[in-house]
Amino acid sequence: MDRPAISDYGFLSDCRSGALVGRDGSVDWWCPDRFDSPAVFGRILDDAAGRWRIAPVGTGRVERAYLPDTLVLRTVHHTPEGSVAVTDALAAEPGARAHQLGHNSPAVLLRVVEGLSGRVPMRLDFTPRPEYGLLTPHLRKLPDGTVRAEAGPVALALRGGPPLHVERDRVRADFAVSAGDRLGFDLAYAPAYGGVPARLDPVDALADTVLAWQAFRESHRYQGRHAGLVRHSATVLQGLTYTRSGAVAAALTTSLPERLGGDRNYDYRYSWLRDFAMTLHALWVAACPDEASRLFAWASRSIGQLGDDPVPVLFGLEGERGLAEHEITHLRGYADSRPVRLGNDAWRQRQLDVPGEVVSAVWRLHEYLGERLDDELRETVVGLTEQVAATWRLPDRGMWETREDERHHVSSKALCWVTMRLAVELAPQLGDRADPVRWRAVRDEIRATVLERGWNERIGAYTGAFGSDELDASALYLPVVGFLPATDPRMRATIAAVERDLATPDGLVRRWSADPGGFLLCSFWLVQCLVLAGERERAEALFTRVAGHANDLGLLAEQVDPVTGGMLGNFPQALSHIGLINAAWELTEPGGD
């Protein structure tokens, strides 16, 4: 397999699911029912796991871009015979506009081919492989030219302009496109026992989908620094939003590796409470109050009534808790990076920072959006606060979700402090169960403990865990959440140590010394820290360098290889775009210097 780089992919979304389309015209990832459902195209993880390619027969130069303010992708192939454009989208519901995106998405993949010059020979190769490549479907050509692909729980219907030829386990079509020609293809999904897949006219549906995305973008106006980048990142976040519930998927994919050939390959198609406050803030910054409120409603319902067990760090897109992890042994993995995993066992971990993120989100909802705290929210805040008061002294797995022994992570303790601080501020809104006097005492004890035990005199910095000699970029989060000002002498020393020992010359920040790639969220945290320390000019320059690691479509993965510049990890990564938005806002806010 001639493996495409992760950066070669473009992202399509209908706010129900998403697809990845390579520069070579191949759809190599699509889980049509919802983001975390089984893939029918999985070539990104194994060449045998299915794809749908439409491209010129020969090679040539490729240029591509999203249509303005959309996730509708137009790829232009320039060949010796002429030029042809392929425009790809996941269809919006007919007539849907702005915030209606995704509520009733028809699960139809649209592809429209347009001849621009000359006469270009084209080839279509359709090889669906449901259940991550476990199934080879039965293919039937109907009298109207439609090809039905059926296997297990999946039914797909493909139709298009030229004749489609069934060749046992795949569909092929060879055709030519001349200047002015326009051919439309649509691929519709439906559950095998749930009725006939939807039928849309591809050209009309594509135009309607463009209008739906542009209406969404028109309703969200951000006026701060780096407005174009922020608006595009907000569109990507909307594309990762499962609109039916309001949950934001951490990424579109599973098991794209943090290190090529390595085994740190995890399933990120779920929604993390740990990222909650950052996500909510980014949506608020990007002027998306409706999305912020719906995200919070999802979280509140997912958490439910609190018991003694820790709040799970992540949930399924409709609030599912049981996300047991297992391996798919028949897939080779991206760049032979095994294992390929489904599910994510981090949901079982104790992560003491989670309540702090949730309570921060409640505070933002109340302070920024003017939302009143109903009985359910009050119970949630009080329950989380009492849980932190009882458990903050325990070790945990930390924000990087280590699968090693639990430790006393500095960032986790700092978020415990955030919980207690904001609970004290919210106490007048919390009813009779609020106990601000006791909470204040716990808050002060946590702070004193972190300041004493988190600082490593030999390293000259706050490290990743109490008693650790290892520098960790999570320390950059302390000024971001207000635990310490960036101008504090020890905090400034920590920022300098991270820049010296964990950052590359172009500003990519590794999480720890052995981390294979620059973690983009940490790099944007460094931007925020520099602003908060009064170094706005350096922060601006760093922001530009870090944001410049996006691909030609403005998409960011989780990490970047500091040697090759190649993207690493699941893609596109919500946290990276969240980091960009929040760093741009920090650069916009007055008072950073």
- 512-567 pLDDT tens trace: 999 999 999 999 999 999 999 999 999 999 999 999 999 999 999 999 999 999 99
Give the pLDDT confidence score for residue 44 in this predicted structure. Answer: 98
Q: Which of 5, 196, 226, 225 is nearest to 108 (CA)?
A: 196
Mean pLDDT of the 425-448 span: 96
Which of 95-109, 110-124, 376-390, 439-453 has the lowest average pLDDT?
Answer: 95-109
- Whether residue 570 has pLDDT greater than 70: yes
Mean pLDDT of the 400-416 span: 94
| 239 in Cβ contact with 18 (< 8 Å) | yes
Give the pLDDT confidence score for residue 593 in this predicted structure. Answer: 39
- 111-128 pLDDT tens trace: 999 999 999 999 999 999
Q: What is the DSSP letter of 65?
A: E
- 190-244 pLDDT tens trace: 999 877 777 899 999 999 999 999 988 777 778 899 999 999 999 999 999 999 9
- Whether residue 591 has pLDDT greater than 90: no
Give the DSSP per-residue string, 415-461.
HHHHHHHHHHHHGGGS-TT--HHHHHHHHHHHHHHHHHHSEETTTTE
- 318-369 pLDDT tens trace: 999 989 999 999 999 999 999 999 999 999 899 999 999 999 988 887 776 5
Give dist(CA 14, CA 200) in Å, integer: 14
Residues 6+ apart with CB under 8 A from 564: none
Q: In Å, what is the CA distance from 201 to each residue of 111, 254, 278, 335?
A: 11, 32, 40, 37
pLDDT averaged over the chain? 93
| 436-453 vs 375-391: helix crossing angle, rounded to 10 | 40
Give dist(CA 79, CA 179) in Å, integer: 13
Give the pLDDT confidence score for residue 285 in this predicted structure. Answer: 83
Give the pLDDT confidence score for residue 369 in this predicted structure. Answer: 55
- Whether residue 492 has pLDDT greater than 80: yes
- Whether residue 261 has pLDDT greater than 50: yes
pTM across the whole model: 0.96
| 421 in Cβ contact with 440 (< 8 Å) | no
Residues 6+ apart with CB under 8 A from 336: 261
Give the pLDDT confidence score for residue 151 in this predicted structure. Answer: 95
Residues 6+ apart with CB under 8 A from 457: none
* CATH number, domain 6-217: 2.70.98.10
Q: Which of 182, 40, 56 is nearest to 115 (CA)?
A: 182
| 536 in Cβ contact with 592 (< 8 Å) | yes
Q: In Å, what is the CA distance from 166 to each residue of 16, 169, 528, 561?
A: 30, 7, 55, 42
Give the pLDDT confidence score for residue 368 in this predicted structure. Answer: 62
Q: Other C-beta atoms within 10 Å of 305: how many?
A: 8
- Whether residue 485 has pLDDT greater than 80: yes
- Whether residue 429 has pLDDT greater than 70: yes
The most distant pair of C-alpha atoms in the chain lies apart, rounded to whole Å, by 78
Tokens of 20: 């990845």
Give the pLDDT confidence score for residue 308 in this predicted structure. Answer: 79
- 7-27 pLDDT tens trace: 999 999 999 999 999 999 999
Give dist(CA 210, CA 463) in Å, integer: 48
Residue 305: pLDDT band (50, 70, 90) is confident
Give dist(CA 39, CA 126) in Å, integer: 14
Mean pLDDT of the 61-73 span: 97
- Whether residue 1 has pLDDT greater than 90: no
